[in-house]
Amino acid sequence: MPRIIDLSKPIQFNAQDPWFMRVKIKHKAHSSARWLIRFLGLPFRLFPPGFSGWADDTIKHMGVHATTHIDAPWHYFPTVAGQPAKTIDQVPLDWCYGDGLKLDMTHKADFDPITVDDLNAELARTKAVLRPGMIVLIQTGRDRFNGTKEFAEVGTGMSKEATEWLIDQGIKIMGIDQWGWDLPLRYMIEQAKTTHNPDLFWEGHLVGREKEYCHIEQLVNLGALPVSGFKVCVFPLKIVGASAAPARVVAILEE
């Protein structure tokens, strides 16, 4: 039997998340539907014994980037190499299932970007084979900060060159277990302001202006995976016209 490893964080309210990414869900008890059923025409005397209604829940607020999610090319820029960028509902599903490969970057310090040399060194260390169509997962270990204020403030991040290199190897889907694909957002902003260099902000994401790819952010539990020998499923919700979508990302290991 295959073993399934969940790589997705729970979807729930967390006061420690940045205000613009907090999830708000209203949970409704079974009895909340009692009068709705009566309004629809079923007399109380005909309710099944002991039944007062169904439970229900409403997502009152959840941005598509608020939890474990996959970004569509449309998120990065309106076009890719001059052609219209795909929204999340246009991303081919065959991109979203494939052989997985984990690259361990837990040794990288906060604010130290991941380079092509880092990727090649890890491939050489593990003797793993990178093949076109694989789903590459970057393990930083920063998922340990999930649920804390520090989560959005710490981490390494994929450099422009490392992102381009993966795409050039035939990788369409890649992911990371920290808040974002790039260096932490506040850090990028401060560095750009300090150095007056417009090339420093969002350099990994903006590779998508010229090269088509998707990345997954806020993965968890990558430490439970081997380097290779597993499948990855990362099917996004089919939200028409959206820049991203939450996804239940799982790894499947044949045992």
Per-residue pLDDT of the chain (255 residues; tens, 9 = 90+): 899 999 999 999 999 999 989 999 999 999 999 888 999 999 999 999 999 899 999 999 999 999 999 999 999 999 999 999 999 999 999 999 999 999 999 999 999 999 999 999 999 999 999 999 999 999 999 999 999 999 999 999 999 999 999 999 999 999 999 999 999 999 999 999 999 999 889 999 999 999 999 999 999 999 999 999 999 999 999 999 999 999 999 999 987
Cβ neighbours around 236 below 10 Å, total: 24
Q: Is 192 left (phi over 0), alpha (psi -120 to 50) or beta?
A: alpha
Compute the distance between CA of residue 61 and CA of residue 25 in angstroms, rounded to an integer.
Answer: 7
Extract the tokens encoding 92. 């081919």
Q: Residue 89: is it exposed, middle or buried by C-beta count within 10 angstroms (0-12/13-18/19+)? A: middle
Specify the DSSP element, H or E, that contains 74. Answer: helix 73-76
The domains of the chain are located at 24-61, 69-254
CA 70 to chain CA centroid, nearest Å: 4
Show the DSSP H helices in 90-239 as ranges.
116-126, 160-168, 185-195
Position 255 scores a pLDDT of: 77
Counts for the chain of helices (H) and strands (E), in that order: 5, 13
Query: Using an 8 Å Cβ cutoff, are 230 and 53 in contact?
Result: no
Return all residues near 175 (Cβ < 8 A) that are at least 6 apart: 70, 135, 136, 137, 138, 215, 216, 217, 219, 234, 249
Q: Is 188 left (phi over 0), alpha (psi -120 to 50) or beta?
A: alpha
Architecture category of domain 69-254 in CATH = 3-Layer(bba) Sandwich (3.50)
φ, ψ of residue 205 to 5 degrees: the values are -60, -45
Cβ neighbours around 49 below 10 Å, total: 4
